[in-house]
Amino acid sequence: MKKRQTILNAVFILLLLALLLTPLALTDTRAGVVSEIDNRKLLDAPLFGEAGFPADFEAYLGDRIGLRSVMVNAYNLLNDAAAGELTHPLYTYGRDGYVFFKMHDNIPYGSFHRTFAEMVRKMQEYCETRGCRFYFMFEPEKTSVLRRYAPAGVNYDDSWVDEMTAYMEELGVQCINNRELLTELSYREPVFNRQYDAGHWNDLGCFYATNHLLRRIGEDFPSVTELTPEEFEIGEVLQRTLPVSEFVVNEAVPSFTWTGSFTDWSSAFYKDLDLDYRYGHIHCYENDTAGAEKLPKILMFQGSYYNSRPQFLLPRTSEYVGVHNYQNVLNLDYYFNIFQPEAVVFEVTEYTFLDLYFDLEGMASVDWNPALTDARAALEAAEPFTIDEPLALAEGDGLDRVFLGRRFSDARYIYLIAGDRVYDLQEDGAGLWETGLPHGAVSPGEEAALLVEDYDGKRLRCPVWVREAADLTDLDVGSSNVTLDPASGGYQLTTDIPRNRFSSVVLQLLRTDPFEYLTALDATNHTGGVHGLYLHEEDTGWYCFCLKGNTNLQDEVVNCWLYLEQGTVYAYSFRVDELDPRHVTLSGFTVLAARS
């Protein structure tokens, strides 16, 4: 009997040890892993010996321990079954089984909202003075529309919305507010799902809200009418779990599929367009249905409410360009130059009124070019001057880039006048000027004109010749752990040194004789495209643009050897396709010169 008890105890101890050690043995040590249950990148391993290593390692282990997702989801299901509680990192239960994002503190009306409203007014002025219609569209969040189902004890107060929209009306902003419409509809139709997608509206809600917008657009463009159900295949899709979660909901949600035809030009712009690395969505669709040419071309700055639902605005446009909003709206002039819309829509959702999404300092400092009501008359009235430097043209697939071959440090605004079109150049902070243009807007050998306005309001004009930028790119592998990546046509940088970690990509300028570091031209610690300008003020001679995978122990590099001329402007670009602690993938490393 005693022997049998000893065996049972030993088996129990072994099982207990297995239960404790199995998660440790299954710890996920892969770099750059994104958690599906809380929609964020998991912590990477800290380096031994660094300050704070014990606490950092404990946090790393808590993130990476094996079966974490299984344990979190099991805990969620157990709480749901036993106590009717939803303990997920992103979600919470409301009344009657409704699911919402985690509740946040009520937001007071303040200077952020006034600054935002004033920026929107500037957006409207920029568009309207260029003959383009502008519409601001406000979307309520799920808690606002369904506040009657919010968790017990939650007093949801969004009175700041009324104060902000009232201020917008004082400023003359055209505001399309969907809060009242969707709240009224929610009493008889499911414009937000009961559980699935705790933060966004569904296709039905988007259908009604888009029609609200189209009614207003139709006042300016008679060809625009409201959507009808007959234009869509309408059904339901069974969603089994909450997004980024394994929490079971098994909810049938509305589904609208447009039956029209279109062409997708998005890929032609994606790699060359300047987009904030955090908000990189772009879609460019051309409506191919009969009669679409009578509809307006619309540029829409939009968030997640529309990024995955282009089927609603597309049927009432000839071309529909959707750009992820937030920080990208600060570059309104850049996108306007490229896409030349007939109407601009700025769509914003209630829970995005934060500095994280809209930079307060950036909004307050917006200073886009005023409109030229008569470009030719403005040119004739300006004082003439001449420059030897060309307007350099770099042609792309969907858009071209132009940059000036000299510094204009005293200029406040610079306009490029080509044919009957006026384009606004943007300054990079160091007196160098560039912009994007529609592909083919200017051609090599063409004569254009610059109108330069300084901070005192004085205007100067000068002719400028368009010259194709000289491609100086001549790359070589600068270190042993760099290989050509056939998949991307770029380079892959790896490291085989223990504890070595890539943290960023840096573009440096090096002198070759003697070989020495001069300056860092650019740097990024995110994936995405990087573009910039450099005015060479050193002596004419051989130099190296060194694109470096920056690490804590040993860097890996790709070199571009260049003969740089003093006083010449150079445009560089590259794309970081992957940035992982153990490897970096780069593509599109190019250096162009304003002079051939």
Q: Give residue-wise pLDDT tens across range 54-90.
A: 665 656 656 566 555 555 554 444 444 444 455 557 8
pLDDT, tens digit (0-9, with 9 covering 90-100), for 340-353? 999 999 999 999 99
Q: What would the DSSP string read from start to end of 75-141?
A: HHHHHHHHH-----SSEEE-GGG-EEEPP-PPPPP-HHHHHHHHHHHHHHHHHHTTT-EEEEEEE--
Show contacts of 317-321: CB within 8 Å, 24+ apart: 317/285, 317/287, 317/292, 318/286, 318/287, 318/292, 318/293, 318/294, 319/284, 319/285, 319/286, 319/287, 320/283, 320/284, 320/285, 320/287, 321/282, 321/283, 321/284, 321/285, 321/297
Give CA–CA dist 111/360, Å, rounded: 9
| The pLDDT of residue 452 is above 70 | yes
Q: Is the pLDDT of residue 481 over 50?
A: yes
Q: Nearest Cα to 581, choosing from 549, 538, 540, 534? A: 549
Q: What is the mean pLDDT of residues 314-327?
A: 97
Does the pLDDT at position 42 exceed 50? Answer: yes
Cα separation, 147 vs 161, in Å, equals: 15
Distance CA 160, CA 407 (A): 45
| pLDDT(21) > 70 | no
Q: What is the pLDDT of residue 269?
A: 87
pLDDT at residue number 579: 93
Greater confidence, 474 or 46? 474
**For residue 78, what pLDDT is reported?**
46
| Residue 183, pLDDT score | 97
Phi and psi, residue 73, nearest 5°:
-70, -35
Residue 495 CA: distances (Å) to CA of 41, 491, 551, 555, 581 = 21, 13, 9, 9, 9
Per-residue confidence (pLDDT) for residue 105, from 0 to 100: 87
Q: Residue 489: pLDDT above 90? A: no
Other CB atoms closer than 10 Å to residue 294's CB: what's the count? 11
The Cα–Cα gap between 91 and 242 comes to 9
561 exposed, middle or buried (CB, 10 Å; 0-12, 13-18, 19+)? Answer: middle
Nearest to 571 by CA among 522, 543, 531: 531
Task: Give me the half-sphere count of Cα atoms (radius 13 Å) on the Cβ side of residue 335.
Answer: 32
Residue 17 has pLDDT above 70, yes or no: no
pLDDT at 27: 66
- Would the pLDDT of 169 be above 90? yes
3-state secondary structure of 358: coil
d(CA 406, CA 535): 8
**How much of the chain exceeds pLDDT 70, in percent?**
85
Mean pLDDT of 435-464: 94
Q: What mean pLDDT comes out for the span 245-261?
A: 91
Q: What is the mean pLDDT of the chain?
A: 88
Q: What is the pLDDT of residues 170-217, one digit of tens each?
A: 999 989 999 999 999 999 999 999 999 888 999 999 999 999 999 999
Instruction: Please say if the pLDDT value at position 33 is more than 70.
Output: no
Query: In which band, very low, low, confident or very high, does the pLDDT at 514 lie, cut at 50, 70 and 90?
Result: confident
Please give the pLDDT value at position 557: 92
- Look at residues 516, 590, 501 and name the one whose alpha carbon lies nearest to residue 547: 590
Q: pLDDT for 546-581, tens place per residue?
A: 999 999 989 999 999 999 999 999 999 999 999 999
> Which residue, 252, 279, 238, is CA-closest to 190?
252
Asked whether the beta carbons of 73 and 246 are under 8 A apart, the reply is yes
Mind listing the pLDDT tens digit for each residue in 302-313? 999 999 999 999
Pick the more confident residue, 484 or 505: 505
Q: For 370-379, how does the pLDDT look when each residue is reduced to its tens digit (9 = 90+)? A: 999 899 999 9
pTM: 0.85
**Nearest residue to 532 via CA among 545, 518, 519, 521:** 521
Q: Which of 570, 441, 465, 452 is nearest to 509 (CA)?
A: 570
